[in-house]
Structure 1
Amino acid sequence: MDKQTKWNSLTKKQQEVQFSGSICVQKHDRTIFTENFGYAIHSEKIKNHSHTRFSIASGSKIFTSVAICKLVEEGSITFDTKIIDCLDIEFPYFDKEITIHHLLTHTSGIPDYFDEDEMDDYEDLWKDRPMYQIRSVKDFLPMFQYKKMKTKVDSPFKYNNTGYIILGLIIEHISGMNFVDYINKNIFEIAGMTDSGYFSMDELPESVSLGYLEKPDGTLRLNIFSLPVKGGPDGGAYVTAIDMGIFWESLMNGKLLTKDMTRNLLIPQVNVSEDIFYGYGGYMEANELGIVKYIQMGYDPGVNYRSVHYPKQALTIVVCSNKSEGAFEILKEIENIIFTQ
């Protein structure tokens, strides 16, 4: 397949799904492809470009995981440390045997503040709760602090945002720093992710895409009333597609963690389904020969993010979108183009 045919294939898929966002492909620490589609701000016809910052929803959980691994490296905690031994906040109905390992692997059994068994739409959380008041990690506490366990601790994998909020509280308590400040200093700055950060939606910096949802009539509306005003440990960082490529490069080259700790972050911990596993750093596909790829994803109203890293090929593909859908389809098209050469 020649270069033009490949490009036509991706353009066709972009038009098919009306993808709006940025793409970055890196191989062996070198950017081999970038492209941008759609508008960062539709009303002003401001286009997305390579330095446009996108919210990546739960795609930023890996930053929380790396931060926890740093604290383990320092000897402040271990993966077996219990919540009750490293946090001075009471959770009267939570099992006292819950450890950091359980929180990282979504096996704690605690209630998820966004329980997809009870609601389908993340926007529903903010109907009776002002989203503009969710600006810090502790602001999430009333949403789960006094709820009872959902299942037993060490139960099978069940995706859980609350666990990562608690991990953020632990990071703040142990480090003595605000969660956002800790991530900025210990991950973004070290990696060289100069365009990344956790921004308040009412104080956005330059070059930030606004998130859009499609209404039944096909017109678009902003997601400003659909999400917490500021992201935190369970999601909501803003990054560029290029910065996420830089993140994987820094992680795999030992800039963020030691070799042994990077291995702890990236090995399978629990089985999710068939060949999909979850480690401290997120999802991964594995077979009898080892890890095929690491998988990052994020979904919020007006936010769609997908990224994969193939360790054996030293290949990273990042797709950020400021619409609710499209990133997965674009990612799969890029994978098809690369692996059918």
Structure 2
Amino acid sequence: MLKNKIKHICMKTGFSGVIYAKNNDVALIEQAFGYADRPEKRKNRMNTRFGIASGCKLFTAIAICRLVEEGHLSFGTRLTDCLKNEFPHFDPAITVHHLLTHTSGVPDYFDEAMMDDFEDLWKMQPMYHLRTPRDFLPLFQNQKMMFAPGERFHYNNAGYILLGLIVEAHSGMSFDQFVEKEVFKPCSMHDSGYFSFDRLPGNTAIGYIDEENGSWRTNQYALPVKGGPDGGAFVTAGDMIKLWDSLLSLRLLSKKMTRTLMSPHTETGEGDYYGYGMWIGNRNGEIGIYHVMGYDPGVSFASAYYPAAEVTAVIPSNQSSGPHNILRILETEIL
């Protein structure tokens, strides 16, 4: 019944991607739709890799938590004590906690509350130059603060770029190498990684931007050539399920640190909260959902864990929208 309903909705809306939901070890739905490569008619499959945009801010938060557990820094450590880069207008009170919770007030290179066309960024800074966290600094490091640290929540991509630089400074490794070693490997996420657009591995879905006139184009020139701390990793739906399983079973972090990561740290202004790298939804006065999401041109992603029902869902797509509509249907039908 559920599979037929989901299939009908996906066919009607033209959804392209994968839907995977499970209750403990029992799969509730595993379905793939659309094409990973439209001209070649290569279909999406359950093990297809998808870009997940900001959905991987959770990986960055976990990386920081691992460094805190190892004693390299604390959540109260100031940005100025972590990095030697020049930030002439940044408030010296900015801490790691502020960056993790989008309450730092640092200027953003792409402010989603003010800008609606991500591709405008590359008119002055070619996307093919952006391969490391450091490459993003000229986009924001000399700008003025938006507000004082801790004053309010304001979703911020640049803050996670800074967290990636902190990971590099304290680990002696590149950001992507650290995440692949300290996050992906312990979870057995063998098919996931930070892949360059010019070196995509096999079985990877190409992102498509659908135009109003019915035409389409790939997102190859719409995003940084390689993802990093604020977004852009590629995962399979199965690997993302492994991430949730590993996090919840304390294979990534200690019980105390996992609780810290998944605690509501700041209100988002919409009745819900933000933890470290994840959104936390209030349901009837209790935590009803932990979730991550991502949107980029040609990429959309939604993944959630529902603690009361012990259900985990992962919905990646190689189009600019779609997963959240499917997630709402799953919530209605399963929960």
Short-chain TM bin:
over 0.9
- After superposition, what is the alpha-carbon deviation per residue over 1:264-321, rounded to whole angstroms, capped at 9, x for unaligned? 0001000113431001131111256531110111000000001110123221011000
Partner of 2:7: 11
CA contact (8 A) 2:262 2:276 kept: yes
Match of 2:179 among 169, 176, 183: 183
Q: Give distance in 1, aligned partners of 2:57 and 2:65.
A: 13
- 1:26 corresponds to 2:22: yes
How far does residue 30 in structure 1 lie from its aligned partner after superposition?
4.0
| Superposition CA RMSD, Å | 1.2
**Paired amino acid for 2:18:** S
CA contact (8 A) 1:13 1:333 kept: no
- 1:147 corresponds to 2:146: no
Q: TM-score, normalised by structure 2?
A: 0.97
Q: Give distance in 1, aligned partners of 2:114 and 2:65.
A: 32
List runs of 5+ in structure 1 lacking aligned partners. none
List runs of 5+ in structure 2 lacking aligned partners. none
Partner of 2:272: 276
Aligned residues: 335
CA contact (8 A) 2:153 2:269 kept: no
CA contact (8 A) 1:13 1:329 kept: no
Q: Give distance in 2, aligned partners of 1:45 and 1:130.
A: 30
SS at match of 1:36: strand
SS at match of 2:125: coil
Match of 2:228 among 226, 232, 251: 232
Q: Give distance in 2, aligned partners of 1:273 and 1:336.
A: 24
Partner of 1:267: 263
Match of 1:116 among 96, 112, 120: 112
How far does residue 92 in structure 1 lie from its aligned partner after superposition?
1.1
Partner of 2:328: 332
**Paired amino acid for 1:217:** N
Q: Give distance in 1, aligned partners of 2:16 and 2:64.
A: 33
Q: Give distance in 2, aligned partners of 1:14 and 1:118.
A: 31
Q: Give distance in 2, aligned partners of 1:288 and 1:31.
A: 27
CA contact (8 A) 1:275 1:287 kept: no
- 1:74 corresponds to 2:102: no
- 1:308 corresponds to 2:304: yes
SS at match of 2:166: helix
**Paired amino acid for 1:161:** N
